[in-house]
Structure 1
Amino acid sequence: MWRVILAFLLGFCLFVKPVTAEETKFPTEAQLQEGEKIAQMALEAAEKGNFVEAERLWTDLIARFPSNPAVWSNRGNTRVSQNKIEAAIEDYNKAIQLAPDAPTPYLNRGVAYEALGKYEEAIADYQRVLQLSPTDAMAYNNLGNANAGLGRWEEALKYYQKATEIAPNLAFASANESLTLYQLGRREEAERKMRSILRKYPMFPDVRAALTALLWEEGKQGEAESNWVATVGVDSRYKDIQWVKEVRKWPPKMVVALENFLNMETK
């Protein structure tokens, strides 16, 4: 299921009360401006997929501004992107220690826990996010993901629906909802949801791939193949069923449906 990691953009004007005497010297305006410049470079590096460079830049900022929770959380994000999950959790722990009432590090740590299969820990973090920010749609989406990881499909559906209620334009939550409806055997509802999403986001490959599988099962070969051409034209990873299963983490029944389609395509 789609998971979301957020940049923790608190800015360099925010500093937690220093603990030691050495930390009582607040940075100068010039140091803050330099920090903002490096932070922007780190975000741009991550945007380009250069996570090694982004991590290096956040590490530099941690050395300069160790009491700023944002730099710890953002380095954690770059580590998750490199599959350094345990190290990322350590960074999120530090960010939470410095800013216990900031929701973003909890959300990001929850994603890291999910990557380790620690779904109950992830759920606890997402629930903490909602204590701090009750209308956080991404937390509801990720709660759906964690419950899906535990096979609690009815619970997952409830959270996805809450996410889309709060944020109707959160397309990935709507996609997760449609896949979960299919998993629960509510095929007609799933199809209606998929078609509704595609009317709004016609180039959304995840939903086109899912609709392909669903239509193929219904015997609508022509429409299924048309949707498949549109899918792989945008994202060819859906040809790899292992990626769909292990990285994208589709529900089991949806994986089987797509696999059946792919097997027929190769014959």
Structure 2
Amino acid sequence: MLIKRPNLGFLPTVLPLLLACLLWLMPGAAWGQAIPEELPSADQDAVEQLRDQAFTATNAGDFATAEAYWTDLLEQLPDNPALWSNRGNARVSQNKLEEAIADYNQAIRLAPSAPDPYLNRGTALEGLGKFQEAIADYNRVLELEPNDPAAYNNRGNAQAGLGNWQEAIADYKIAADLAPEYAFAQANHALALYQVGETEDALRQMRNLVRKYPRFADMRAALTAALWVTGQLGEAESNWVAAIGLDRRYKDIQWVETTRRWPPTMVDALRRFITLQ
């Protein structure tokens, strides 16, 4: 996902699983909570240092080390829900989905009205293919925060996982309207439009995103596939050179299909391009 709140922009590469989404993950700030004032000052300093180290490791992509720091913190503050949720985030980033869900469950038991653990747990459930359960978590987030763009975007991802493309399109549109700089919500909306045959609108949105974010590899690769299918070979090739220069994972159809989770029609278009190239 970090991992809960989008920074309403985009990353030049799509991080695996939660981190793009995630994935869809967009990256944002991890949920934080103040260190209890009743701790002795020396203990407060030690806890603050551990928390800083955990965030530093997370920002460096060293999620195993971040998990270890969160575990150390939980030994001292076992009733702090933010620590459970953040350790869950570190575990999701290592594809330890069941263990992450256990952490989110504990965070929810401790803070049932906090939206972040529900959103994070929903993303982990998506990773396990439990889309209906994920939707239930995103619905809970929207009960608590009705204008949360990340919840709408993620619910769109889960609806897409079930093949409910019109519902996905509606959720992506709301997410993008709520947060106009949330580039991945717009990208997901364009991909879903392509899936249902609204190719002109999809192409227009892809081009707009590439114009606004020239280093957006996901949309460069999608534009490549969509243009190739319509016979616009030169523009397709130039976007492909840019896309793989930014993120070579788009050459791996299995990654695009199962990790990035493009819609089937879009995956097929890219497969045709790569095969015939």
The TM-score bracket by the shorter chain reads over 0.9
2:140 corresponds to 1:117: no
Matches within 5 A, 1:4-23: 4=25, 7-13=30-36
Q: Distance in 1 between matches of 2:53 and 2:90?
A: 13
Q: Alpha-carbon deviations, 1:77-98, whole Å to 9, x = none?
A: 1111111111100000000111
Q: Per-residue deviation at 1:183?
A: 0.2
Aligned-partner residue type, residue 251 of structure 1: P
2:205 corresponds to 1:193: yes
Identity percentage of aligned residues:
56
Q: Distance in 2 between matches of 1:167 and 1:96?
A: 26
Q: Per-residue deviation at 1:38?
A: 0.8
Matches within 5 A, 1:38-187: 38-187=50-199
Q: Would the aligned equivalents of 1:11 and 1:36 in 2 still touch at CA under 8 Å?
A: no
Q: Distance in 2 between matches of 1:106 and 1:75?
A: 14
Kindly tell me the number of residue pairs found equivalent between the two proteins.
Answer: 254
Q: Secondary structure at the match of 2:215?
A: coil
Q: Would the aligned equivalents of 1:11 and 1:70 in 2 still touch at CA under 8 Å?
A: no
- More relative contact order in 1 or in 2 (CA 8 Å, sep 6+)? 2
Q: Alpha-carbon deviations, 1:68-117, whole Å to 9, x = none?
A: 11110000011111111111000000001111111000000000110111
Higher helix share: 1
2:24 corresponds to 1:3: yes
Q: 2:270 aligns to what?
A: 258
Q: Distance in 1 between matches of 2:276 and 2:190?
A: 24
Q: Per-residue deviation at 1:32?
A: 2.2
Q: Would the aligned equivalents of 1:153 and 1:184 in 2 still touch at CA under 8 Å?
A: yes
Aligned-pair RMSD on alpha carbons?
Answer: 1.2
Aligned-partner residue type, residue 10 of structure 1: Q
Q: Would the aligned equivalents of 1:110 and 1:121 in 2 still touch at CA under 8 Å?
A: yes
Q: Per-residue deviation at 1:30?
A: 2.9
- Between stretches 28-37 and 134-143, larger displacement belongs to 28-37
Q: Per-residue deviation at 1:55?
A: 0.7
4+ long deviations beyond 2 Å:
none
Q: Alpha-carbon deviations, 1:169-214, whole Å to 9, x = none?
A: 0000000000000000000000001111112111100000000001
Q: 2:14 aligns to what?
A: none
Q: 1:22 aligns to what?
A: none
Higher radius of gyration, 1 or 2: 1
Q: Distance in 2 between matches of 1:30 and 1:133?
A: 37
Pick from 37, 41, 44: which aligns with 1:32? 44
Q: Alpha-carbon deviations, 1:140-186, whole Å to 9, x = none?
A: 00000000000000000000000001000000000000000000000
Aligned-partner residue type, residue 91 of structure 1: D
Q: Per-residue deviation at 1:33?
A: 2.7
Q: Distance in 2 between matches of 1:208 and 1:239?
A: 12
Aligned-partner residue type, residue 134 of structure 1: P
Pick from 229, 236, 250: which aligns with 2:241? 229
Q: Distance in 1 between matches of 2:263 and 2:51?
A: 37
Structure 1 residue runs of 5 or longer lacking an equivalent are 15-25
Q: Alpha-carbon deviations, 1:49-79, whole Å to 9, x = none?
A: 2111111100000001111111100000111
